[in-house]
Amino acid sequence: MTVNELIEKTGYRPLNVSSGYREISGIYNCDLMSVVMSKGFAGAAWVTIMANINAVAVAALTDMAVIVLSEGAALDSVMVEKAKIQDINVVQSDKPIFETSLEIYELMQNA
């Protein structure tokens, strides 16, 4: 499933989708940057509440497919600007982390 397809199927709000063709390889959850740096993986849909600029840097370094801000995490305009520059997809879900992750997981199973 691509990031574009994820948005189509879930209605998550696209905050920056500059490479929606990216294929999602799996789901990752964590809010602690040092752990994310070492455990985050290429192509991941990273479901997190960390709506800050550093999340974009970490997603870029780990080559994740999309940051999924959950719990309706507050949008930071600087973060979106940074995401555009670094070409990192960011979408927003109003659901909690678990429900969001489960939703993506089920869509991946049926893809």
Dig out the tokens for 6 from the structure: 């994820």
Q: How far is the CB of 102 from another protein (least distance, A)?
A: 23
Closest listed residue to residue 100, CA positions, set 49, 57, 62? 49
Chosen residue from 74, 75, 78, 111 binding another protein by CB under 8 A: 78
Does residue number 31 form part of the binding site for another protein (CB under 8 A)?
Answer: yes
Phi-psi region of 49 (alpha: psi -120 to 50; beta: other; left: phi over 0): alpha
Does residue number 52 form part of the binding site for another protein (CB under 8 A)?
Answer: yes
Helical H segments across the chain, by residue range:
3-10, 33-39, 53-62, 77-86, 97-110
Does residue number 35 form part of the binding site for another protein (CB under 8 A)?
Answer: yes
Does residue number 75 form part of the binding site for another protein (CB under 8 A)?
Answer: no
Using CB under 8 A, list all residues that contact another protein.
31-38, 50, 52-55, 57-58, 60-62, 78, 82, 86
